[in-house]
């Protein structure tokens, strides 16, 4: 009887683990519809109303020093997207390292970069610990031309001059070397809330490079080593949720982005860009109001 119980437990554990593994990539109804066409006015109104309750947040939004994007994934037949200052590009520090990861996986898939143990280690350090030296090595392996080509490609359009720009990496995360700043604002490391949401939305569906490469990227981005900003709050209110995340900070510029994959009612993408000395705390405090908005 004891052996039988153990076997059943092992079987159920395996079944549950398999089910968990199969949750991503997420299958979206009408998955050919671009995220920008999934803006939900009700969610948009609730988002603006909620964040405007704090005078400082409203002031930052009005000054275009705060941008937010949120994608509700709780109902795959009815994806909802809302954003504030969504196409306003800002300096995003280390957050755009996700663009280097995408370019690396694209290069590996095309045989332009060998996925050595050193490359694997650097990709993980670049995302999980936001290691600047590892990121610089990856940038040097790829080159600015490759990174730009991936971001501006017709397939992704993660940087689009006609839509305010977007994700961009045009400078090493360290001293020395040339630069390739983006053309609209001359920024070296840039992002918009909308384009980062699009990155995660495509990634969650397995649409970045290939499904296999997307899953590899998700594995690299899961369980971040840095527990501040969004993650600090999510560790407390959703300790069992899976988190796929990249953040950044430099001087007054603070940014964070996360795919939260918990119980079906807690599945969403959240992005915030803030230019304020207290930006880390603002981003940390943003999670619970956003979750209230998503439940309305």
Which range is least confidently modeled, 5-9, 152-156, 164-168, 221-225? 5-9
Q: What is the pLDDT of residue 176?
A: 85
Q: What is the pLDDT of residue 289?
A: 98
259 pLDDT band, cuts 50/70/90, is very high
Q: What is the pLDDT of residue 175?
A: 78
Q: What is the pLDDT of residue 249?
A: 97
Q: What is the pLDDT of residue 296?
A: 86
Cβ proximity of 266 and 23 under 8 Å = no
Q: pLDDT tens digits for 74-104? A: 999 999 999 999 999 999 999 999 999 999 9
Q: How far is CA 7 from CA 16, 152, 187, in A?
A: 14, 52, 58
Q: Which fold has domain 2-295?
A: Beta-lactamase (3.40.710)
Q: pLDDT tens digits for 178-223? A: 999 999 999 999 999 999 999 999 999 999 999 999 999 999 999 9
6 pLDDT band, cuts 50/70/90, is very low
pLDDT of 126 higher than 50: yes
Q: pLDDT tens digits for 35-81? A: 999 999 999 999 999 999 999 999 999 999 999 999 999 999 999 99
Distance CA 91, CA 150 (A): 20
DSSP string covering 105-155? HHHHHTTSS---HHHHHHHHHHHHS--HHHHHHHHHHH-HHHHHHHHTSTT
Q: Where are the beta strands (DSSP E) in 1-133?
A: 66-72, 80-84, 90-91
H helix intervals, 152-271: 193-204, 211-221, 230-237
Average pLDDT, the chain: 93
Q: What is the pLDDT of residue 158?
A: 98
Beta bridge partners of 81: 39, 71
Q: What is the pLDDT of residue 45?
A: 98
Average pLDDT over residues 258-270: 97
């Amino acid at each position: 009887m004891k052996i039988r119980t153990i076997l059943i437990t092992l079987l159920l554990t395996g079944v549950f683990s398999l089910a968990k593994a199969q949750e991503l990539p997420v299958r979206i109804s009408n998955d050919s519809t671009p995220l920008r066409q999934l803006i939900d006015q009700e969610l948009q109104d609730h988002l603006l109303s909620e964040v405007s309750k704090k005078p400082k947040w409203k002031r930052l939004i009005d000054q275009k020093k705060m941008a937010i994007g949120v994608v509700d994934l709780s109902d795959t037949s009815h994806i909802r997207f809302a954003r504030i200052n969504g196409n306003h590009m800002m300096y995003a520090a280390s957050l755009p390292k996700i663009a280097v990861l995408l370019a690396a996986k694209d290069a590996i898939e095309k045989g332009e970069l060998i996925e050595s143990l050193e490359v694997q280690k650097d990709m993980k350090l670049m995302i999980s610990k936001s290691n600047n030296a590892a990121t610089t090595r990856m940038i040097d392996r790829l080159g600015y031309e490759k990174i730009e080509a991936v971001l501006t490609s017709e397939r992704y359009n993660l940087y689009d001059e006609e839509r305010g720009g977007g994700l961009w990496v045009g400078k090493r995360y360290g001293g020395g070397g040339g630069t390739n700043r983006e053309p609209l604002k001359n920024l070296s490391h840039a992002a918009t809330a909308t384009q980062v949401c699009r990155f995660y939305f495509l990634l969650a569906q397995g649409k970045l490079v290939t499904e296999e490469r997307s899953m590899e990227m998700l594995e690299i981005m899961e369980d971040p080593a840095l527990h501040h900003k969004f993650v600090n709050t999510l560790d407390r209110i959703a300790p069992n949720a899976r988190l796929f995340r990249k953040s950044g900070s430099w001087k007054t510029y603070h940014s964070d982005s996360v795919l939260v994959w918990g119980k079906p009612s807690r599945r969403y993408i959240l992005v915030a860009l803030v230019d304020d000395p207290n930006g880390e705390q603002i981003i940390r405090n943003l999670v619970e109001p956003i979750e209230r908005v998503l439940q309305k």
